[in-house]
Amino acid sequence: MGELQEFHLQIKEVQAPNSSKDATPINQQLQPNLRHSQWWILVALNIAFLISGQSAGTLLGRFYYDKGGNSIWMATLVQTAGFPILLLPLFLFRSPTTSTTITTTPSVTTLAFLYVSLGLLMAGDNVMYSYGLLYLPVSTYSLLCATQLAFNAFFSYYFNSQKFTPLILNSVVLLSLSASLLAIQSDSADPTGASTGKHVAGFLFTLGASATYSLWLSLTQLSFQKVLKKETFYVIFVMQFYTSAVASCACVVGLFASREWRSLKGEMEGFEKGKVSYIMTLVWTAVSWQVCTVSSVVLVFMISSLFTNVISTLALPVVPIFAVIFFHEKMDGVKVVAMLLAIWGFLSYFFQHYLDGYKPNTTRTDVNEVSGASS
């Protein structure tokens, strides 16, 4: 336990900027020592967890619908219901005496408002994602989710002081074109069997969910900067635990208010792969999304919401490929072009982040992007 706390302190010292002006995220020029290596290892692990969790959660969600699941609120609930597994990291990282920064602890009322607001926003976001995944092929759904980068550019500009550059504007245009291609695409090969009206609804729900997710990331970063003002991983897990708990409670209310709970027994018994497969699908979907969400919050804390959203889109070429393999979806020319445009937009966005990170020290303090790790 002592070694774990020492490692935690080393990570915190490395990530913290030397001054309030030096707000550039992972791009600080650090001496190539052990602490630097540990910091990069932690970032790489969270990137891997985010991509794998997001990909697995999306594919398992599609599997749930394809094999007989039809409860929107159950599909939404499992996206946050895995929060009890956070009790383990909460136990491991509890160390209130290790903080080296003296900060004013927010009031209980302030924290309650923060957790409830972010939790309800997360629940609304997950509901829209569930509807989008129900009415759209998983490949189309995943490509549309790439538009969250464009929304993130807008919210980061207002909430996190992110500057607009030609590369970012290029990314927004490309992602918009990618979404437009999918919007006008014929749904004749849609394996979900959804009508044209539901296809359009799924398109709009997915766009709304992408916008809400980007807003949630930006507000999470702002919360670390303006409200929590602490540089410990314990704060991350506490925040994620309570926001997920609030979102789960909201989904349970929706499950009972919609009376979908009455059909769950029949849904489990009629699941194509059997009862055990039904339960395991829900369990592993919950675990996958919790891993994805926690990794997202950690990257927001350590770097920024911008970087987190960029990494999230790395799953873009992964999910459609697996959708073709496991769900036999057709990857036609329109989707291929949409994917290439979205990847081009992602690379444009990522390259801008790279340029921001490797500016000379004399100009680095002029970068307006604020790291989620600095407060």
The yes-or-no verdict on residue 22 having pLDDT over 60 is no
Residues 147, 204 contacting (CB under 8 angstroms): no
pLDDT digits (tens, 9 = 90+) for 258-281: 999 999 999 999 999 899 999 999
Across 215-222, average pLDDT? 89
Sole residue written with tokens 């490929």? 321
Q: What percent of the chain has pLDDT over 90?
A: 29
Report residue 289's pLDDT band, with 50, 70 and 90 as the boundaries: very high
Q: What is the pLDDT of residues 147-195, one digit of tens each?
A: 887 788 788 777 877 677 788 778 777 877 776 676 665 444 455 556 7
CB 342 within 8 A of CB 315: no
Q: Which positions ≥6 away from 238 have C-beta within 8 Å?
A: 90
Residues 6+ apart with CB under 8 A from 69: 75, 267, 271, 278, 281
Query: Smallest Cα–Cα separation from 127: which of 67, 197, 71, 194?
Result: 71
Helix (H) or strand (E) holding 156: helix 148-159
User: Does the pLDDT of residue 14 top 90, yes or no?
Assistant: no
Local structure of residue 31 (DSSP, 8 states) = -
Residue whose C-alpha is closest to residue 143's, from 348, 281, 323, 284: 323
- Rounded-to-integer distance, Cα 341 and Cα 345, Å: 6
pTM for this structure? 0.74
215 pLDDT band (50/70/90 cuts)?
Answer: very high
Q: What is the pLDDT of residue 334?
A: 75
Q: Provide the 10 A C-beta neighbour count for residue 297.
A: 26
